[in-house]
Amino acid sequence: MNLTLSKLAAAFAQAKAEETRAAELRRAIAAQIQAMTGHDAEGSKTYKDGDWKVTVKAPMIRSMDWAKWDEVRDQITEDLWPVEMKPVLDEKGVKWLYENNHDAYAVVAQALTIKPGAVQVTVKLEKGE
């Protein structure tokens, strides 16, 4: 088989479509399982049926309105604040240092771990071009 970029792009698009259909089917089946078990409370519960053991997890996703938090946080003591402040790497800042301030980057680089991420590919069929 003589592979071309066009053939690989078509195969990629087909695989992506199949993956999307499989994910939609999996979500629909999960909803049926949840409905059948009646599990809608937060947390997980395991059910057994025949040779199958099925664990259903129903998470609650919580997020913070940070502007509102700034208004109300002083109404409780700091030891009860349900927040963690974590340092986060500023990727743009690291790239800026690399490109614009090599001395500062050399210092920061001592604490960096850099590894390649997953390759992202997007394909689009352009008809008539």
Tens digits of per-residue pLDDT, 20-50? Answer: 999 999 999 999 999 999 998 899 999 999 9
Partnered with residue 58 across adjacent β-strands are 43
What confidence tier does 1 reach under pLDDT thresholds 50, 70, 90? low
Percent share of the chain, pLDDT over 70? 98
Q: List the alpha helices (DSSP H) in 46-90.
A: 66-72
